[in-house]
Every structure is written in C-alpha cells, then in structure tokens.
C-alpha cells in the first residue's frame, strides 16, 4: 500500500481525470488509479521526511549492478528523462512514489523487473517548506 499526503493525492486524482479525458490514455494511468484506491492518506504537515512525495528527489541504487542515480518524481507535464525527472505515470515513478528510505522498490518494465533501493530522500517539498509544489 502506498502512503501519500493529501495534497499529492488530490493533485494525482485530478491529473488522472484530465489524462483520461485527453488522448493520453494507457495502462499506466489505470495502474496508478488502482494504486490510489488503496493508498494511505496522511495530512501534508505530517509527511515524514524520509517519504518520497511528488517533486521529491531521491538517490537510488540499482540492486543488480549497484549503480546509483538521482531521480525526481514529477507530474506528467514536468517529465524530462534527460534531467532525470520521472513521470509518476511511468513504472519507476509509480514504484517510487510513497517509498521510504532504505526500502526496495520494483519497477515493472516491458523487458522485465528491476529492483532499486531508495538510499536517501535528497529533497522533499514538504520538509523544505515548499508546499506550493
């Protein structure tokens, strides 16, 4: 079960509704919508600092080769793979949202599964006081 703060939950529900009405419909939208149905919702001020939220930046370690990388989880319109801004609708974004430091996440990709450890949440809007993001 994914843990989300109420601000992220509400914005994600609205994003899903908008994307379903547009031409951008796919199974990732459906998968995220299903995940949100069982999400544990917490008040934004009580968001733990070690929780990956929307617009958070995290250090990940790929477990099969120990390669580390920094990524941010962003809304669909802000995604930019070159800048390592991963859409929450992408498999990695869905797996990372709601994860905590030291947790292992599994990204279900078309060519197989890849496991990552969330080494550290490097930036989180709620902890930084950036509640407008």
The number of domains in the chain is 1
- pLDDT tens-digit readout, 20-73: 656 555 777 777 888 888 889 998 888 999 999 999 999 999 999 999 999 999
Residue entry with tokens 């949202």: 97
Q: Is residue 90 part of a domain?
A: yes
105 contact partners, CB below 8 Å, separation of at least 6: 95, 96, 99, 115, 116, 117, 118
Q: Is residue 112 part of a domain?
A: yes
Q: Is residue 59 part of a domain?
A: yes
Q: Is residue 133 part of a domain?
A: no
Domain that holds residue 68: 3-126
- pLDDT tens-digit readout, 71-120: 999 998 899 999 999 999 899 999 999 999 999 999 988 889 999 999 99
Residue 19 banded pLDDT, cuts 50, 70, 90: confident
- Helix crossing, 6-21 with 27-37: angle to 10°? 150
Check which CATH number belongs to the domain holding 24 and give it: 3.10.50.30
Q: Is residue 22 part of a domain?
A: yes
Q: Token digits for 108?
A: 């279900």
Q: Is the pTM of this model over 0.75?
A: yes
Strands 40-42 and 68-74: unpaired
CB of 47 closer than 8 Å to CB of 127: yes
For residues 96 and 117, give the distance between their C-alpha atoms in angstroms, rounded to a whole number: 10
DSSP 83: G
Return left, alpha or beta for 20; rule: phi > 0 is left, psi -120 to 50 is alpha, else beta.
alpha
CB of 75 closer than 8 Å to CB of 98: no
Q: Is residue 122 part of a domain?
A: yes
pLDDT reported for residue 76: 86
Q: Is residue 132 part of a domain?
A: no
pLDDT reported for residue 15: 86
Q: Is residue 114 part of a domain?
A: yes
């Amino acid at each position: 079960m994914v843990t989300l703060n109420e601000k992220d939950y509400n914005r994600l529900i609205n994003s899903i509704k908008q994307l379903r009405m547009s031409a951008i419909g796919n199974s990732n939208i459906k998968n995220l919508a299903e995940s949100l149905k069982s999400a544990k919702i917490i008040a934004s001020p009580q968001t733990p600092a070690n929780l990956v939220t929307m617009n958070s930046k995290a250090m990940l370690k790929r477990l099969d080769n120990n390669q580390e990388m920094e990524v941010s989880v962003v809304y669909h319109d802000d995604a930019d793979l070159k800048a390592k801004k991963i859409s929450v609708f992408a498999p990695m974004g869905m797996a990372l949202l709601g994860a905590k430091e030291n947790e292992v996440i599994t990204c279900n990709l078309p060519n197989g599964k890849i496991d990552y450890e969330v080494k550290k949440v490097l930036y989180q809007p709620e902890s930084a006081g950036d509640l407008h993001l």
